[in-house]
Amino acid sequence: MINNKVLSIILGGGQGSRLYPLTEKRSKPAVPIAGKYRLVDIPISNCINADIKRIYVLTQFNSAGLNKHIKNTYQFSFFSSAFVDVLAAEQTPGNKTWFQGTADAVRQCMPHFLGNDFEYALILSGDQLYQMDYDKMIEAHEEAGAEISIATIPVNAKDATGFGILKADNENVITSFIEKPDESLLPEWTSEVSDDMKAQGRNYLASMGIYIFNKDLLVKLMENPDTNDFGKEIIPESIDSHKTLSYQYEGYWTDIGTVESFFEANLGLTDDIPQFDLYDNNRRIYTHARMLPTTKIAGTVLDKAVISEGCIISASRIEKSVIGIRSRVGKDSSISNTYMMGNDSYETLEEMASEKIEILMGVGERCVIKNCIIDKNCRIGDDVRILGGSHLEDTETATYCIKDGIVVIKKDAVIPKNTVIE
């Protein structure tokens, strides 16, 4: 089978400062998404669906939670060569620095990769939301006799300035590449795309940060210690000397690099027909198998709501919101345009009845919450009003952060009764 030739390398990214405070206590790939998953589940699931089951995840910040999730989730047969392993940055006698970029991360971990027999390295990002058939990309790479393949997606002029943009010939071989071009240069960088993409004004091919490298070439490129990044250095320097293929992808894809993009990607799951399809039998998203009860809802009007397992909800209304596992929402509360990540455990009836817990885990009674992200294990008291929006200035306190009008309640935060954020 073709995919026995492939080793997958998922880049966990840096500190994830643009996703702060969601990355304050966890690495970026471990950020909860869609109510029950983690970001890293997306590329890992895409690999498993393509029968690629030798996977490394590279990270260096707050990796303990990611380690635990992967160890508890991805367990294959003892008699197979399949694995998902986390490689955190480590000091060695020959190297005493952390990862300096995407290529440097691969370079530092190369001794681990070379312990496997493979022909192609599939290099992926750990902070993107999409469903791609990697096996088709690998087949195109082999058929073209390429040494490098780059997954590309057509984008419009507004978005093109934020990506690495390339041009390809009639055989999809990349001839030139520019990183984040100025708007004035764009007329020279249009590419041949499908009629559907042309109709949407998406005439520029952007790199998705998904690469295939032939093993021998990757080993050779990693010998240069002065190149630290694939997009800024390795790819532009390789195009002229190594056959580099553009593999066009026209499905849903978003780079979850900011709080705003993360928020929009999650709320997009509440659409009647979401662009990211969690209900596709052939493209399942895998995650930790939890033995949770069904969700219990009493007296609640639900409209465009995604409700995960194990919730106890008595709210008056939940609208265009994603409610994560084990969430609790009290009576007469209203939640809209919100992603509530849920809880890691339940409080017992005895704990809830005791006087030791002043504010229960979850959202209390008579609360109004809008345009908000509620991180894991938060306690929001009764009669709290949180109304995010563009009228709010960016700010940070010990318990919450406001970014682009989105109020982010920090992990484990306690919001006292009668608090108003509006």
What is the structure's pLDDT at 355?
75
Structure tokens at 389: 């929006």
What is the structure's pLDDT at 345?
95
Please state, in angstroms and rounded to a whole number, the distance separating the CA atoms of residues 14 and 17: 8
- Structural domain contains residue 287: no
Mark whether 230 and 347 lie in a shared domain.
no
Least confident of 85-89, 107-111, 238-242: 85-89
What is the structure's pLDDT at 51?
94
pLDDT band at 230 (very low <50, low <70, confident <90, very high): confident
Local structure of residue 343 (DSSP, 8 states): -
Contacts of residue 322, defined as CB under 8 A and 6 or more positions apart, other chains included, come to 34, 35, 266, 267, 269, 270, 305, 306, 308, 338, 339, 340
Mark whether 63 and 178 lie in a shared domain.
yes
Segment 160-165 mean pLDDT: 92
- The answer, yes or no, to whether residue 93 has pLDDT greater than 80, is no
- The answer, yes or no, to whether residue 233 has pLDDT greater than 60, is yes
CATH of the domain at 64: 3.90.550.10
Q: pLDDT for 28-45, tens place per residue?
A: 889 999 999 999 999 999
Please state, in angstroms and rounded to a whole number, the distance separating the CA atoms of residues 237 and 224: 12
Single-letter code of the amino acid located at 199:
A
Segment 161-172 mean pLDDT: 91
Please state, in angstroms and rounded to a whole number, the distance separating the CA atoms of residues 101 and 229: 5
Average model confidence (pLDDT) for the chain?
A: 91
Please state, in angstroms and rounded to a whole number, the distance separating the CA atoms of residues 14 and 99: 8
CATH of the domain at 300: 2.160.10.10
**Chain centre to alpha carbon of residue 272:** 22
Please state, in angstroms and rounded to a whole number, the distance separating the CA atoms of residues 268 and 255: 14
- Structural domain contains residue 277: no
What is the structure's pLDDT at 301?
98
What is the structure's pLDDT at 122?
97
- Structural domain contains residue 80: yes
What is the structure's pLDDT at 1?
45
- Structural domain contains residue 125: yes
Mark whether 255 and 331 lie in a shared domain.
no
Segment 338-354 mean pLDDT: 91
- Structural domain contains residue 352: yes
Mark whether 313 and 225 lie in a shared domain.
no
Mark whether 104 and 226 lie in a shared domain.
yes
- Structural domain contains residue 174: yes
Per the structure, the complete domain to which residue 59 belongs is given by 2-270
What Å distances lie between residue 210 and 28, 102, 115, 140, CA to CA?
Answer: 17, 12, 23, 14
Query: Hey, how many other C-beta atoms are within 10 angstroms of the C-beta on 354?
Result: 10
Mark whether 33 and 170 lie in a shared domain.
yes
Mark whether 96 and 20 lie in a shared domain.
yes
Q: pLDDT for 241-282, tens place per residue?
A: 999 999 999 999 998 889 999 999 999 999 999 999 999 888
Which of 236, 270, 304 is the last residue before a domain boundary?
A: 270
- Structural domain contains residue 48: yes
How many domains, in total, are found in the chain?
Answer: 2
Local structure of residue 294 (DSSP, 8 states): P
pLDDT band at 91 (very low <50, low <70, confident <90, very high): low
Contacts of residue 345, defined as CB under 8 A and 6 or more positions apart, other chains included, come to 326
Mark whether 323 and 212 lie in a shared domain.
no
- Structural domain contains residue 122: yes
